[in-house]
Amino acid sequence: MPSWLALELAYTSRDLDATEAKSCGFINKVFDSQDEMLTEVRELAATIAKHSPMAVNGVKEMLNYSREHTVAESLNYMATWQAGMLHAPDVKEALSAAKEKRAANYDGLRPL
C-alpha cells in the first residue's frame, strides 16, 4: 500500500472499498461472489502446490529478505540460497518429471 494512502486512511478512518483497494495494488482481484472467490483461490493454491515446496519456500524467503535489505545484500543472499537449493532432491525430481513428461511428485518440507 502506498505510504500516502496508509497515512490518509489512518488520519481519516475512512473505508477502503474493494475497487479502490485493487486500483492501488493492495489486493489482486475483486470477486463477484464468495463462491467465485473460493473457486479461484483454490485453483491458485493447487497451482502453487504443483511446484517444489523448496522452490516456493525459497521464493518466499527471497522476497521477504529483499524487503529489509539492500539490493547487493539480497543478491548475495539469493546466490547463496540458490547454490544450496540446487542440491535439493526437488531439483532431481523436477528434471526427471520434465524429461518423462509427468507431474512432479515432491516430498513435503521437513519441519525446522
- Cell numbers at residue 60, please? 518466499
Kindly list the structural domains of the chain, giving each domain's residue range(s) and its CATH number in brackets, ordered by start: 52-105 (1.10.12.10)
Q: How far apart are CA 72 and CA 27, in angstroms?
A: 29
Q: What is the mean pLDDT of residues 4-31?
A: 91
pLDDT bin (cut points 50, 70, 90) of residue 3 is confident
Does the pTM exceed 0.75? no
What does the pLDDT look like over 24-33, one tens digit per residue? 888 999 999 9
More confident residue, 109 or 12: 12
Q: What is the mean pLDDT of residues 82-94?
A: 83
- Tally of CB atoms within 10 A around 28: 9
What does the pLDDT look like over 52-61, one tens digit per residue? 888 888 899 9
- Cell numbers at residue 58, please? 525459497
Give me the pLDDT at residue 110, please: 60
What does the pLDDT look like over 65-87, one tens digit per residue? 999 999 999 999 999 988 887 77
